Amino acid sequence: MRSGPTWFNVTSLVLGFTFLYLPIVILVIFSFNESRLVTVWGGFSTKWYVELFKNKQLLDAAWVTLKVAFLSASIATVLGTMAALVLVRSGRFAGRSLFSGMIFAPLVMPEVILGLSLLLLFVAMDQARGFWTVMIAHTTFAMCYVAVVVQSRLVGFDKSIEEAAEDLGCPPVRSFFLITLPIIFPGVLAGWMLAFTLSLDDLVIASFTTGPGATTLPMKIYSQVRLGVTPEINAICTILVVLVTFGVIAASLASKRQEVLRAQDERAAFGPN
């Protein structure tokens, strides 16, 4: 077997990644277009970014979206981590298959169904719709993603360290915060990030569950996109893409660094010296 990349593999990777990235690159380039026609280059300009910061409605929507994303991601991370602990640690209990079904089903459930069903719940509860209902809706589907991400982290976890602490008299809650949480932290952080971006991104569920005064950024973008492609939307999309890209890369570098440090600690603790 030949080792190393063959021309076929390199070509398929180059073509594949071009397909994945070219549309986004084009979108970013045309956000700096002088001309209002998005597909004809009229020279470099940052005027659409300036325009953005004058658009009060858009800024309001962005602020609502960030608040919803931050809150729902944080609650979803707590609930999702609990759910992951239940899935991995709690063994058998009545309703376990229902529990794991409820964790996995939202991952593949069409958003229109999730959105519609939550809206009808809020209506049945006679709950005024707005910020809080969107927040609850996002928490509900995001916690399932967090649970799956944290679960994969917990599966590879050496339980004996935790058991040792508990044998030495450490109460379970304390051993969770001192031992388990630091070890699964990269997973928890990744879960939070995923929940945050899912909420930032969601159009369908937010459209169903929102009410007056709580228009989110994707809803705003969507209503403008329906009217046509404008460089202003390109600009706001570019900002979002750049933010998310940096966030994801920073988080992955941070968790890698933590991994290395932890490996060093473990070697120091258990090593032959």
Residues of span 63-82 touching other proteins by CB under 8 A? 79-80, 82
Task: Name residue 73's amino acid.
Answer: A
Q: Which of 69, 208, 210, 214 forms a contact with other proteins (CB under 8 A)?
A: 208
Instruction: Tell me the DSSP string of the chain.
Output: ---S--HHHHHHHHHHHHHHHHHHHHHHHHTTBSSSSTTS---B--HHHHHHHH-HHHHHHHHHHHHHHHHHHHHHHHHHHHHHHHHHHS---TTHHHHHHHHHHHHHS-HHHHHHHHHHHHHHTTPPPSHHHHHHHHHHHHHHHHHHHHHHHHHT--HHHHHHHHHTT--HHHHIIIIIHHHHHHHHHHHHHHHHHHHHH--HHHHHH--TT---HHHHHHHHHHH---HHHHHHHHHHHHHHHHHHHHHHHHHHHHHHHHHHHHHHHHS--
Minimum Å distance from CB 41 to other proteins? 10
Binding residue for other proteins, selected from 173, 227, 268, 269, defined by CB under 8 A: 173
Nearer of residues 186 and 218 to other proteins, judged by Cβ: 218
Piece of 55-63, 108-116, 160-168, 259-267 that binds other proteins (CB under 8 A): 108-116
Contact pick of 244, 255, 258, 262 for other proteins (by CB under 8 A): 244
What is the contact mask toward other proteins in residues 121 to 150, using x (rule: CB under 8 A)? x-xx-----------xx-xx--x---x---
> Which residue in 52, 85, 170, 183 binds other proteins (CB under 8 A)?
85
Size of the site for other proteins (CB under 8 A): 87
CB of 224 to other proteins, least distance (A): 10
Residue 165 lies near other proteins (rule: CB under 8 A): no
Which residue in 19, 167, 168, 269 binds other proteins (CB under 8 A)?
19
Binding span for other proteins by CB under 8 A among 42-50, 98-106, 161-169, 258-266: 98-106
Cβ of residue 270: shortest distance to other proteins, in angstroms? Answer: 26
Q: Which of residues 31-70 bind other proteins (CB under 8 A)?
A: 38-39
Whether residue 139 contacts residue 191, with contact meaning beta carbons closer than 8 Å, is answered with: no
Could you tell me which of 18, 73, 51, 16 has the C-alpha nearest to residue 196?
73
User: Of 5 and 182, which CB lies nearer to other proteins in the complex structure?
Assistant: 5
Decide whether 125 or 269 has the Cβ nearer to other proteins.
125
Q: Which stretch binds other proteins (CB under 8 A): 55-63, 114-122, 179-187, 258-266?
A: 114-122
Q: Pick from 35, 46, 117, 223: which binds other proteins (CB under 8 A)? A: 117
Q: Which region among 53-61, 66-74, 161-169, 238-246 touches other proteins (by CB under 8 A)?
A: 238-246
Rounded Cα distance between 216 and 203, Å, is: 8
How far apart are alpha carbons 198 and 122 in whole angstroms?
Answer: 21
